Structure 1
């Protein structure tokens, strides 16, 4: 560690602390001597009136703050605060908040409303802005505001996003909604849909593609931009490995074993809806990982059960469509994969 020079590019209090640390490491403990060393390390272009009469660290810091370089330093830090952006792909939230807090300290900003405004402007995520504003209402503790920021950022990671990989675990049997390049031998003869393994494999990967046919162009573009799935959205559920879309046959095609409506994957599938089956928390707008949901097409619900069927030498757990009340066999838990 080198003895730091004061050039007006660091907060005076932080600089004094660094000088004290340096002197402590060198075995210099006498305060008068450390103050003398500090004054000698002020850049020659920074003229401090009556510097020889300064006899304490408080006096030294106060004198440096009165110099024009400190105003320039604070303005620079404030500009950095106004421009700072949280980019999850580039840094973690702890690092971002540590840097943000340091800038606030150096600029000497403690007003909680100003800090909230700058944090709102630091992250362009649509979910974050709405949720953060809601949660910090009435909060005036800066520490609590930073805590809420990190919590909202973490919650955003759990939201299901359009065109991101997901898996759907059938709650009753623990098996994942799946499809593969095998077709039904009777009925629609389209790509088979089944509940597969108890761990998500390549056959169990899906993604939701936005499809709200009643939206105008502005709203449709707005939702595509933010990419967060809500319980008000319509969407296509696309099988990642084959590119085909989940659908229910509403014609004469029946499921192989129980004779319910057949479920398959095909080009030009059905526009679906999420249904939140959690009756104690069914007012949440966003679809999140670990949510237990039902999948709906028009008046039809997707169901799985213990009934199986075979194609060749392969056995599959049946997935069907029905118009009955939603029950335990209709529940699926969403996972981000």
Structure 2
């Protein structure tokens, strides 16, 4: 067994911007050089090359009863061509970055606002590579069950669950918190950011990495807002710079 090839196989990552043929060729070459002949091991290494949990889970379920490696590769190619990696979906782990300040939506302190409270402060911190405190899971809105892996069309309602603490992004009046529970105040409408009145309500298109959006709290009908003081609140009319955010898949 070639130790270097095995190390590279463990570290290989699929980049959707990379040519699929080049990636498959590299993967197969590493398997041969590392003498990985077990089909289950080959499946595992291929799945581990994916950063997106949703697509990894979809492929794992499709691989389960496949006993031919050529068919595994065909499935991988077909699903990856069909499944746009730039889309944000229910179940995606994302970071949410404020366009004006470059800071990430964070739940860093994790300290209740008072004894026995289920609410704790969120902020807009961290200007470099996001840490664990800045990772949120796109989840079904309160009162609904969405299918993990389904794309999120504009004007859809979501909730955002903090990966580390399990708290939901939540609003009471103009204040924004992490809430260790769920309610209607944890529901957020994903809208396009635009300077054109009325275009907010256009449902066309799917939320994707890098799209400039506003997150409007459904109960309060106000958008998520931040500025240079790192505070997060509900404020603005949805058209101004401090209401602009964009998301990236965590780890990419």
Structure having the higher Rg: 1
Q: Is the 8 A contact 1:231 1:275 kept in 2?
A: yes
TM-score, L = length of structure 2: 0.58
Instruction: Decide whether the 8 Å contact of 1:210 with 1:233 is kept in 2.
Output: no
Query: In the alignment, is the contact (CA less than 8 A) between 1:212 and 1:234 conserved in 2?
Result: no
Alignment of 1:27-42 (within 5 A): none
Matched length: 171
Work out whether residues 98 and 104 of structure 2, in 8 Å CA contact, stay in contact via their aligned partners in 1. yes
Unpaired segments of 5 or more residues in structure 2?
1-13, 26-54, 56-76
Residue 332 of structure 1 corresponds to 245
1:272–1:164 distance in 2 versus 1, CA, 3 Å? same
Deviation of the 1:203 alpha carbon:
0.8
Specify which structure has the higher proportion of helix.
Answer: 1
Structure 2 residue corresponding to 1:94, chosen from 21, 28, 35:
21
Q: Pairwise mapping of residues 147-158 of structure 1 onto structure 2 (< 5 A)?
A: 153=81, 156-158=84-86
Rounded to whole Å, the distance in 2 between the matches of 1:153 and 1:225 is 19
Q: Aligned residue for 1:191? A: 120
Match runs of 1:171-250 below 5 Å = 171-180=99-108, 181-184=110-113, 190-199=119-128, 200-211=130-141, 224=147, 226-250=149-173
CA contact (8 A) 2:137 2:161 kept: yes
**Does the aligned pair in 1 maintain the 2:142–2:182 contact within 8 Å?**
no
CA distance 1:294–1:335, shift in 2 (3 Å):
same
Partners of 2:168 and 2:178 within 8 A in 1: yes
TM-score (normalizing by structure 1): 0.44
Cα displacement (A) at 1:323: 5.7
Q: Distance in 2 between matches of 1:288 and 1:190?
A: 30
If asked which structure has higher relative contact order (CA below 8 Å, sep 6+), I would say: 2
Residue equivalent to 1:306: 228
1:122-141 equivalences under 5 Å are none
Question: Paired residue for 2:187?
Answer: 271
Any idea what SS the aligned residue of 1:329 has? helix
The gaps in structure 1 that reach 5 residues or longer are: 1-87, 99-124, 126-148, 251-260, 308-316
Partners of 2:123 and 2:157 in 1: how far apart?
A: 22
